[in-house]
Chains A and B, each alone.
Chain A
Amino acid sequence: MATRKVRYKKLSVKTPLPVLREDQIDPTEYESLTNESQIATGVEQAEENEYHLQAVLQGAGVAADKEIPVPPPEESTLSYDALYPQKFQQTCTYIRFSQTVEECIGCMYDMTEDDEAFLESYNKQRVALAQLSDDDFEKIMEVFEDTAYIKTPFAAVDQTVVAYDEMLHGLHDLDKSKIMPHAKEIYEFWKSRRQALGNRPLHPTLKYEMHQESDDMDPYVCFRRREVRLTRKTRQRDVQSAEKLKRLRKELEEGRQLVLASHSRELLKAEMLKTDRAIFEQRAQLKEHKIRLGIKTDDEDLINQKKRKAPDVPAVQRPPPPSQIRMPLRPDGRPTEADLAQLADRLAEKENELRADIEKKVQNHSDWNKAHVDLTRGPLSPVVGPRPDLSFRPAKTQYLMTPPASASSASLEEPMPMELDKPENHPPVFKFRGVAQDEKSMENPPVYRRRIGRLNRLWIDRRGLASPPGERSEEQSDQWKYDQSSDDEEDTPMYEVDPFDTRALKFRASVPLPPWMSRATVPNRQAALPLPPNMPPNLPPAQLAQLAQPPQQALPRPMSQGQPAL
């Protein structure tokens, strides 16, 4: 077995292990697991090999036939009952106790053998009544020691001795008549004993920390104050996030208060409305009664004007609200909107007054100037009158009858969407607008003026062309087609236009060919038309033609609004 080298499966603490007695398994069949590393005993490494410990560990598990020898205690020779005379009363319940040692002892000074000898000789000089008892002696000494500890904590170093006068304060608390006659003499004894000990406390005390450097090495220094545990490194961030959380909480709290306040405000309002209604109903009843009973008093009690006035006065005097994102809550609980509306009303009112005043003055003025023409009022303005400007001449256009362009059949079949949409309103494909002018347009024909400006620039001024923008003439009725938004179509908008509309044709003719088109001189445009970039290649020719047009068709629309083509 010793030769067999098996790699053991790692033993996890969660692995269920069968438990067997030694006699249930053949001892030759198993090997006990001995960790490569020796079992950590937990004993100080240097002490692990100690002779007596090893002697016991060798027989681990066997009956403890070995012991670690220790210095044995002995029975005390002192009389225990004399030293511990008190009897202990067993309580029925578990003891609960929180007094400290100091509270249980009382006087902390314990007389030593030296003290005893001194007190004996001291008392010998006195009559029995004037003698000082052990207890009182200890009390006095305790006061001296305590006072010295408080007043001169470094007495052993700086050798200051507390004066007797300073001790008196502490002695006052004791029973004066018994203590005071002895205090001075005891003080002298105390002082001499203190000085014999290098001005150290008479009772040996533990060494506490005094001086960092020397203390650390001193095995007698014990019970140091424990310093505060190290603060965590992330403390700064903790503080920040704590601040944030605090602020957040405060804001949320404020919001909550706001909600609560407005809730109570609304409740009050409802209350007020109810009260108002009740008052109203009461008054109505009162009125009825009055009428029925024929009581004629002035109806003071049916109205309350005084109350109405009160809230109005501050509303007027209130300064305009400061520019603020959040509206401040009005102290009287009324919504801010009502207040604002009033202000606007007042402004409008003032404006109206002003306007009325001005109009009145204008009226007065014109009355006064009746039958007079005052040319000096507007010396540079043109004289108002129906006189036509001679320099403008009405434009007289003549259009030649043009046969329809030899359009391909494709474009003739094309207007499918139009039929679908609005076949009735569909304008005729051909329209010679230049010839067939309607009456309306004849009334105010467009007029033009030619003038030559600086540097021989030629200016054409025109007039009477613009039609009111809101008015939709019949020829503009297909504008909606271009107005459709591209939202519902995913790709480029298709503008359906009548390719043979005269105006469009004319306009198109005036537009210079884009460079990519300029090469195409072949008569059959659609066939020869090279594809503009980013155009799907396999579209039917008609659509292709349509697609080819947008660069030009984008333009006619604003034109058709503002002016007809020349």
Chain B
Amino acid sequence: MADLAPRSRPFLLLLPTWLTLGLFFVLPLGIVLILSFAQRSPTGSISPVTDWWAYISSGKFLSNYAQSLDGLYLRIFWRSLWMAVLTTVLCAVIAYPAAYYLAIAAPTRWKGLLLALAVIPFWTSFLVRTYAWMLILRTQGLANDLLIAAHLIKEPLDLLYNQTSVMIGLVYGELPFMLLPVYASLEKLDRSLLEAASDLGAGKWSRFWRVTLPLTAPGLAAGTVLVFVPSLGQFVVSDLLGGSRSMLIGNMIQNQFTTARNQPFGSALALELTLLVLLLLIAYAAYARKRGEELL
């Protein structure tokens, strides 16, 4: 090792990363890509191709993608998309004021504790926390008990297994991923800029819209990516808290690989989802480059 040319050393440092990425990211993605062009056999495995030329020229290798354009699947795609958008918007609307309080308004001695409180949920498994929501939202659950005890309702409400419960679960789970980057950008905000805005005649709201918000937009953008991408592929929350009418693209892909035993179709759906996320990330990278900021 000692007489290795200095030039090869950086490569050695990157070797573990390349190996990990290659083995656990590039390789599986390649398998999924190949699978997506295959056909399901009647027994649920892959049917072998005998005539390659006929298979490709007939366009049969694209049949999984063609099938995914069916109205039923498009509806689920569409629902996943708007629910991910709504999750992101709700997270931003809830997290921004909270982050603002943490970074700017909270007394310094409380800051550490409050930040810790925001991070503590990470100490518990996401699955367990989602189950906890089932206990809260079910017919005999905490939410209904409290509402009845407060005489606000007489009969328990159907809070679980619908789109609202899925939304609650998504927003709850993704909130910290919006809070932390927004907090970081607010914490970084140079207070003398707000004083300058004030000195130039800007009132409270003007200062917020013209200085604070534009300067913390990178935090919001990072939070958007961190929330939107996992929400789009989410299947645990919708599986546990959702009903049949709140199925997301993630559940559908999971179904193809398990109960439906149609790996090729599942692969095609997974790749479409990956492509969508990739486009979003490219848009984000372009935005970040335009602002001359580091990515995430």
Q: Note whether A and B form a binding pair.
A: no
Binding site for B on A (CB under 8 A): none
